[in-house]
Structure 1
Amino acid sequence: MTEILQLTPKLVVADGAAALAFYTAALGAVVEESYTMDGRIVHATLTVGSLRFELKDAGDGDPAPTPGQHPPVLMSLDVSDADAVTERLLAAGATVVYPVSDHEYGSRGGRVADPFGHHWMVSAALETLTPDEVQARLDGVRQGQV
C-alpha cells in the first residue's frame, strides 16, 4: 500500500494577496512560497510554527467561500492561549462566530470567521480528560446536569 506522507489544507480565497497579509498579521504566518499567474495566486505555502497550510485565489473550478455563509470546512487551531490568539485574529479583521469560553470537554475556545469566509476554531486545553470523561461531560450537558 502507498504511504501517505502529508495532508495539507488549502484555502481558496477571493483575494490571495489580502489573505496572505491577513494570515501573516493574525497568525504570524510565514509565506514560504507564492506563485502567481495573470495576477492571481495559484499556489502559496504558509507556515505557523511547525504547521503548514496552502492558499490560492479562486478560479480554475475552485470557488472561494462566501463571507457570511458557513464554509464547508472548519480550520481548527490548538493553541496555548485561546484568548490571545483570538484577539490577534480579531485585530487583523476576523469576526466572532462563537465567543471564547470554557467548555465542558476540558478546553477554552471559540470560533472566528476570517475576512475571506473561512471559520477558525481556536482552542486551548484546560485539563486532560480521557475520551470517556469527555463523553460523560457532554452527556451531562445534554441532560442539563452541567
Structure 2
Amino acid sequence: MSESTVVPKLVVAGADHAIEFYQKTLGAELTVRYAAPGGSVVFSELRIGNASISVKDEDGVDKAAITIGGSPIILTLNVDDPDAVATAMQEAGASVVFPVGDMPYGMRQGRVQDPFGFQWIVSRRTENLTPDEVQQRLDAGT
C-alpha cells in the first residue's frame, strides 16, 4: 500500500493574497498554481516544512471560510519558534485567539486567526510526557 497523506484545501476570498500571507508568515513555498481564464485560483499547493496545504478562491460551489463565518477546522503547525510565527502572523493581519504560552501538556503554543477565516495553532513541544502525565496535569488544573 502506498503512503497516504491528507492535504487540507483552504477555500478563501483572495487566494493570491492568502498565498502571499502564508509565504510571508509561515515560510510557505508555492509549488503549484493554476488559474481559471478570469484569473481566480482554482488550485494551488504550498509546502510548509514537510506538510502541504492547498489554497483556492471561492466560487459558486466552494465558499470561503470568511464568507460562512469562519472554519470549524483548526490547523496545527509545529514550528521551532511559535512566538515568532504568531507575531509574524499578527503583524500581517491575523488576530490572537489565545496568546502563545506554556501549556500543561508539554507544549508551547498559541492560536491565531488569519485574515481568511482559518485558525492556526502554532506549537512547539517543550516536554515529552506520557498520556497519563498529561491527563494528571489536566486533572490537577496545572
Give how far 1:89 is off.
1.2
So what's the TM-score if we normalise by structure 2? Answer: 0.92
Counterpart contact for 1:67–1:116, Cα < 8 Å: no
Counterpart contact for 2:12–2:66, Cα < 8 Å: no
Find the residue that maps to 1:17 and give its secondary structure: helix
| More deviation, 83-92/122-131 | 83-92
How do residues 126-141 of structure 1 correspond to structure 2 at under 5 angstroms?
Answer: 126-141=126-141
Give how far 1:107 is off.
0.9
Equivalent residue, structure 2, for 1:74? 74
Counterpart-to-counterpart distance in 2, 1:125 and 1:67: 34
Which amino acid letter does the alignment assign opposite residue 12 of structure 2? V
So what's the TM-score if we normalise by structure 1? Answer: 0.89
Find the residue that maps to 1:25 and give its secondary structure: helix
Counterpart contact for 2:79–2:123, Cα < 8 Å: yes
Equivalent residue, structure 2, for 1:36? 35
* Number of residue equivalences: 141
Give how far 1:60 is off.
3.9
Equivalent residue, structure 2, for 1:15? 14
Counterpart-to-counterpart distance in 1, 2:61 and 2:53: 20
Structure 1 residues 29 and 51 mapped into 2: Cα distance closer, same or farther (>3 Å)?
same
How do residues 51-130 of structure 1 correspond to structure 2 at under 5 angstroms?
Answer: 51-66=51-66, 69-130=69-130
Give how far 1:124 is off.
0.9
Find the residue that maps to 1:96 and give its secondary structure: strand
Structure 1 alignment gaps of length 5 or more: none
Between the two proteins, what is the percent identity of the paired residues? 43
Find the residue that maps to 2:83 and give its secondary structure: helix
Structure 2 alignment gaps of length 5 or more: none
